[in-house]
Amino acid sequence: MAPIDVVSAIAPTNIGAVPKLLSEVASAGEALSEAGHDSVVARRELLAKARELTRALETPREIMIQQVWAQPCNVMAISFGVQSGLWTAMANNGDGPQKVVDLAKQLGVQEELLRRMMRHIAASGYIDMTAPDEYTPNNFSKSLSLAVMGSGYHTGPPILNPAFLQAHDWLKDKGYKCPTNNLDTPYQVAHNTKLHWFAHLQANPPHGQNFNDHMHGYLLGRPGWMDEGFYPVKERLFDGFDTAKDAVLLVDVGGGFGHYTEGFLSKFPDAPGRLILQDLPPVIAQIQQLNPRIEKMEYDFFTEQPVKGARAYYTHFILHDWPDADAIKIAKRVRDAMKPGYSRFLIHEHVVPPMGQDYEQTALDLIMMTNFGAKERSPAQWSELLEKNAGLKIVKIWTPINGIESVVECVRPE
Ligand SMILES: C[S@@+](CC[C@H](N)C(=O)[O-])C[C@H]1O[C@@H](n2cnc3c(N)ncnc32)[C@H](O)[C@@H]1O
């Protein structure tokens, strides 16, 4: 018999904490007003407290139903809205109330189907029902009409989620151990393929394009690594930069559609030197627009790095995609191209702290586990990978805000 009484499943998770949490929510709210509504840190602190409050009030049974019924159905219903064009239609129709009957006609979908999908999304608080079968667009529904938001729903449910669903059987079969071979993960079982994740995506258009658009959606609103108070670009990269005409300032290795280099240029439009974006040929070919100052280069990062002695080699979300042996190979290719005493390798990745991890970090870690046989790394794991195995030296780990990716700054010792 279970040692826990079933009554605990219907009692609030932590009702005793509610009074204290209420006053902490109020204080965090005041802090946000004082800091200004665009303060990332103050807003995140209030959000964390508000979530803690909700969690304390909910019963375990409510959480369970929320997780196993409501949220999967929300993902399905919101994705249906992306696919059918519902969110775009609503955004185009303007800010006024919109009836299901009219929207169904406009989209060419069954009225009953649309009614049932929309009312679940509204019951969950994501859209506003203003009268029976009538909805008024809000900031969330309008944002869903953006390609960068929609691409998340084109990537999560069809690409990532099937691997989560396979994970239980896969892990049981393997004796409950983390996958470490990127050709033998729940992903390959879920998608019935022998291909690696990236190769499989590119072999199944438009998933590759959707994924890179989703990477753009991911970075929206997050502090840039080159922002004031994060990585000191002027002191570390511009000062002492080689003045030769063709000197390279930055190589964005595995840079996808170039969003991070574009972000860098928007902050530093007068940055000196050349900026190079490298990725596999199909990804480079899918780029639709790019700041003309950025040079596109087809490159496989397991091969010799053709750009030698750049001031900075930059990677965002590259090494976390790969198990240790592959990540070491990629890092060594960069190390071999670096000029000792001059080049820096800026690894823009999560550095998972021992406590107080952010759920975006931990979710990404499980995505890496189940889809890539890879991981998010702790400071000790980064040191082992880069210093012990790839011949690099970590100069400093720059972490401006807990839960936001750090810059692990490395140099080549000799
Ligand atoms: C998680 S995405 C990150 C993209 C970009 N750095 C960003 O953060 O938006 C990983 C990138 O690695 C690229 N990639 C995968 N294998 C590669 C390889 N062997 N050589 C070069 N790029 C590769 C993918 O095409 C993809 O653009």
Whether residues 264 and 329 fall in one domain: yes
pTM: 0.94
Report pLDDT for 223: 86
Tokens of 382: 């980064």
Is 1 a member of any domain? no
Percent of the chain with pLDDT over 70: 100
CB 101 within 8 A of CB 64: no
Ligand 1 mean position to 385 CA, how many Å? 19
Q: What's the whole-number average pLDDT of the chain?
A: 96
Domain boundary among 143, 176, 192: 143
Whether residues 262 and 327 fall in one domain: yes
Of ligand 1's listed atoms, the one at least distance from the Cα of 218 is 9
Over residues 282-311, the pLDDT tens digits come to 999 999 999 999 999 999 999 999 999 999
Whether residues 295 and 377 fall in one domain: yes
Q: Is the shortest distance between the CB of 317 and ligand 1 below 6 Å?
A: yes
Is 249 a member of any domain? yes
| Whether pLDDT at 156 is above 90 | yes
Test site for ligand 1: of 202, 280, 322, most ligand atoms within 8 A of the Cβ: 280
Looking at the DSSP bridge assignments, the partners of residue 409 are: 346, 396
Q: Is the shortest distance between the CB of 313 and ligand 1 below 6 Å?
A: no
Percent of the chain with pLDDT over 90: 94
Looking at the DSSP bridge assignments, the partners of residue 148 are: none
Whether residues 238 and 368 fall in one domain: yes
Report pLDDT for 403: 86
Catalytic residues: 320, 349, 376
Is 11 a member of any domain? yes
Report pLDDT for 414: 75
Over residues 86-141, the pLDDT tens digits come to 999 999 999 999 999 999 999 999 999 999 999 999 999 999 999 999 999 999 99
| Domain hosting residue 22, numbered range | 6-58
Whether residues 263 and 391 fall in one domain: yes
Q: Is the shortest distance between the CB of 215 and ligand 1 below 6 Å?
A: yes
Q: How far does CA 106 lie from the centroid of its chain?
A: 33
Report pLDDT for 402: 84
Domain boundary among 33, 58, 83: 58
